[in-house]
Amino acid sequence: MQQKATRPRLIQALTDAFSLPDLRRRLLFTIAMLAIFRFIAHVPLPGVDLAALRDLFDKNQLLGMLDLFSGGAMRNFSVAAMGVYPYITSSIIVQLLVPVVPQLRALAEEGETGRNRINQITHWLTIPLAALQGYAQLALLRSQGIVAPSDALSTLAIIVSMTAGTMFLIWLGEMITERGIGNGVSLIIFGGIVAGLPQNAGRGFIAQENLFGLIFFLLLSLAMLVLIVVFTEAARRIPVQYARTAFKGARMYRQSGSTFIPLRVNSAGMIPLIFSMSIMVFPGTIASYFASPLGEDPNFARHIMEWFSPNAAMPIGLFYWGLYFLMTVGFTFFYTMVIFEQMNLAKTLQRQGGFVPGVRPGKPTTEYLSKVTNHLTWGGALFLAVVAVLPFVGQQVTGIQSLGITSTGMLIVVGVALDTMKQIEAQLTMRRYEGFIK
């Protein structure tokens, strides 16, 4: 037993999980579903020039971000080219509409039944979003001469295939959530990012001759990893006390207990980075269709492309990354406010007979929790903004352009890994098995 206690927690948790038959089945099922996803990601659609497609992805930042959520399937133009990105977009739209639309707000307050109904609405909204995104993706590739023109029936078949591929990946994710370990949709994205890391890193390292730059780049990546872990786990505990009335026979007893509410420093997760990146690359992507050819006098559209390019030279690069920094801070406050309004902690506490010591229930509790959340959000917003601009800092110091650190990708990988390990620990605890021996 003492020998087990000296093992790292990660290895110990996996060892204990595989030692239990039911958990082992869950883990193997999760791995099998991820293997099916990787197989689907390599089934290409017909009529595409793969070499020209990969060259386009290297130049277009928006397509590179979409490829991140497809797990590399978009770069191969497979049937799963859109990944689960339409579902993520649908989830964000529905989540933002819940506090605005009274019908959705009423559903959110109905417990498990209401959440299932909202989830069903999210799935139905995903289908038209996937079809629209599939058509837009196909039109973009045709305009670049990467996909050959085809008749209406062939176009419809491609769009239906891409939409079906997205819905199939969502089904795989839900099967993982139900019968496996972890959040299935997050693991689909996680698997795609991790699968592409060896190839991207190998290609970048082979192309570099700056040894100092590579060492500094690795140290910067390690610092970013530590920073993400610390701020992902950081939370402030708000003490809460409960007072209940219990009856035993004809006598009434007062029972009390205490717990805490963990308010996270970064409760918005990676969503602000996705919002900011989408808006920052959108003007340059639209301008690219109207820009003058290289070698001619630049028109207004080409100037827009330069100002909204992450690879722009100084001082234009400062404008792009400075605006990216400010937008990340702003979206973090916006999304955190939306999440806080949906949680409605003060009303939940009052309904359960709980209160924050020294704060009156009701509106004063809401104002107190809102004030604490705003203070914590400054830390989370600055953290996300710093992580967002670290690639720019690394490129300026090292001079390495081909080894870009994907902040959003690293946030996804770290967040999903931590969440999955917590779920494994919870499963071990639920089975009254000591997963972590201290």
Both tokens assigned to 24: 């082992």
Q: What is the pLDDT of residue 433?
A: 45
- With contact defined as beta carbons under 8 Å apart, do 311 and 400 qualify? no
Other CB atoms within 10 Å distance of the CB of residue 35: 11
Can you list the residues of the chain whose pLDDT is less than 70?
1-14, 47, 49-50, 57-72, 143-145, 196-214, 243-258, 285, 288-289, 291-297, 311-313, 394-407, 431-438
Both tokens assigned to 264: 């996270």
CA distances from 384 to 222, 335, 411 (A): 16, 13, 9
Least Cα distance to 50 among 84, 88, 22, 81 occurs for: 81
Q: What is the pLDDT of residue 4?
A: 42
Least Cα distance to 372 among 233, 271, 267 occurs for: 267
Burial class (CB in 10 A: 0-12, 13-18, 19+), 147: buried
Burial class (CB in 10 A: 0-12, 13-18, 19+), 209: exposed
**Phi-psi map region of 353: left, alpha, beta (phi>0 left; psi -120 to 50 alpha):** left
Torsion of CA 63, 68, 71, 76, to 10 degrees: 20
Estimate to the nearest angstrom the gap between the alpha carbon of 159 and the chain centroid: 25
Cα 84–Cα 85–Cα 86 angle in degrees, nearest 5: 95
Tell me the C-alpha distance between 338 and 350, whole Å: 21
Residues in CB range of 300: below 8 A, 6 or more apart: none
Other CB atoms within 10 Å distance of the CB of residue 61: 19
Tell me the C-alpha distance between 325 and 387, whole Å: 9
pTM of the model: 0.73
Estimate to the nearest angstrom the gap between the alpha carbon of 416 and the chain centroid: 9
CATH topology for 1-207+407-438 is Preprotein translocase SecY subunit (1.10.3370)
Domains 1-207+407-438 and 210-401 share a fold: yes
Least Cα distance to 307 among 290, 325, 287 occurs for: 287
Q: What is the pLDDT of residue 151?
A: 76
Q: What is the pLDDT of residue 188?
A: 84
- With contact defined as beta carbons under 8 Å apart, do 22 and 176 qualify? no
The domain locations on the chain are 1-207+407-438, 210-401
User: Which CATH superfamily hosts domain 210-401?
Assistant: SecY subunit domain (1.10.3370.10)
Residues 330-363 pLDDT 10s? 889 988 887 787 777 777 777 777 778 888 887 8
Tell me the C-alpha distance between 430 and 425, whole Å: 9
Q: What is the pLDDT of residue 127?
A: 92
Other CB atoms within 10 Å distance of the CB of residue 423: 16
Q: What average pLDDT is seen over the chain?
A: 76
Q: What is the pLDDT of residue 265?
A: 86
Q: What is the pLDDT of residue 10?
A: 61
